[in-house]
Chain A
Amino acid sequence: MLAQTTRTTRAPLATQAEIDTLGTLITEDEAAVSDAPTYQPEAAGLLLLLGLLLLSPQKQPKEKTR
């Protein structure tokens, strides 16, 4: 059991704005879900394949002539 005593503080009591500000710092809520892109090594291969497909020549095969 705690022995509680009252004492005068040297600093003046905080205003409501100060207490509200402090409350947000003390008990932070969880962060919102982030949709920021993260590094995915396997995505590099996919990009390379996509690039190769896009850059490849789109020529029609020639018809064989006899």
Chain B
Amino acid sequence: MPFADTTLRDEYAAAVERVAGRVLDALRGAGDPAAPTRRSAPDAAARLAHATPEGPLPAEGPLSRAELAAVRVLGPDLFAAQLLAGQRLDGPTADAAAEALGTFPMSAASPVPDATATATATAAASPAATGAALANAWRDRATAQLVALAGRPVPALGPDPVRPQEPTPRDWPRWSVDMARLSALALPRLDGPVHELARRHSLTLARGVTRSMLRRDYRTAARLARWLAWNEADGGPAHLDLGPVLDRIRAVGDGSTRMWLELAITEQLSSAGEPSGGRTTGNPGANPGGHSGDSPDGAAA
């Protein structure tokens, strides 16, 4: 329910927290794992709908604009519970994601340099703006992939985004921030150039986690830790013991539902990666999972 004294950002941020909480419930088994955008369990809906004025979405009826925006913000994370549980993707959630993509055409509004763009045009934009536009485009692509996986029609998204750049010894901090923005892609059944990059540069990702922890930027650290957990679940080397990192973020993080969702996904990815073996903590040079890892200086391959 929007209030007169709240800004648009506050309204959207509150909706993101609500929908993220629903996805978190689905991940923890407290909600409906099939449809995080809808409360189909009648008792849960009745209990939560009367709990607070800003309660969950109605069990029936179209999504409000703020809820659509929240669906747009969460993107691939909407399907996290089903992807991590190996379940079939939910149709109504995919419909909501498709509708959000159509209503908020981010890729069209945020011009992304296509594959034929010149280097000067890319250099003209600031690195942060370019990274944000790229992240938007890749997240949209991943959401569209999942909508298609659920068997629903995919809205038109425009040209394919440009492949993300390799980290260099000089700009790996910026690269790690760009990868943190793409953490929503760190899910099972999603694969592409971004994932290849994460596989090749897992040591740089671990370095990014350490840097973010030292800067006390726990949200970025949580997102990068998610990439590391995905990499381990994928059979890659473990460069960092994630347990203490996650404990620290849990203790001193901002406490938002969105961060708890990141942590829950990271934990599930970590637990999925443990039985498969291939842990090489302290020995980044070993390569049991076919991953090339990183060069010691973090240079591009």
List chain A positions with a Cβ less than 8 A from chain B: 2-7, 9-14, 16-19, 21-31, 33-34, 36
Contacts and interface: CB of A to CB of B under 8 A. Distances in A.
B216 A5 contact: no
A59 B145 CA distance: 80
Contact of A21 (B9, B131, B157): B9
Interface in B125-173: 128, 131-132, 135-136, 139, 144-145, 148, 153-157
Contact of B215 (A4, A6, A34): A34
Taking residues whose C-beta sits less than 8 angstroms from the other chain, chain B's interface range is 35 or more
A9 B103 contact: yes
Given A3-B153, A26-B136, A27-B181, 15 more contacts: A4-B144, A4-B154, A5-B153, A5-B155, A7-B98, A14-B103, A19-B109, A21-B12, A22-B104, A23-B132, A23-B136, A25-B16, A26-B73, A27-B132, A30-B215
Contact of B8 (A21, A30, A36): A21
A25 B278 CA distance: 36
Contacts of B9: 21, 24-25
Contacts of B82: none
B234 interface: no
B154 A31 contact: no
Nearest to A31: B217
Contacts of B177: 29-30
Interface of B: 8-9, 12-13, 16, 62, 65, 68-69, 72-73, 75, 98-99, 102-106, 109-110, 128, 131-132, 135-136, 139, 144-145, 148, 153-157, 177, 180-181, 212, 215-217, 219-220
Contacts of A9: 99, 102-103
A31 B220 CA distance: 8
Contacts, number: 106
Given A7-B155, A10-B99, A31-B216, A23 B110 contact: yes
B132 A11 contact: no
Contact of A2 (B8, B109, B144, B181): B144
A22 B12 contact: yes
30 contacts: A2-B144, A3-B154, A4-B144, A4-B155, A5-B155, A6-B156, A7-B153, A9-B102, A11-B62, A11-B99, A11-B103, A12-B103, A14-B104, A17-B8, A18-B8, A18-B104, A19-B104, A19-B109, A21-B69, A22-B69, A22-B104, A23-B132, A25-B12, A26-B106, A27-B132, A28-B181, A29-B128, A30-B217, A31-B215, A33-B215
Contacts of A21: 8-9, 12, 69
Nearest to B7: A21
B103 A5 contact: no
Given A11-B65, A21-B8, A25-B13, A30 B102 contact: no
Contacts of B75: 26
A22 B75 CA distance: 12
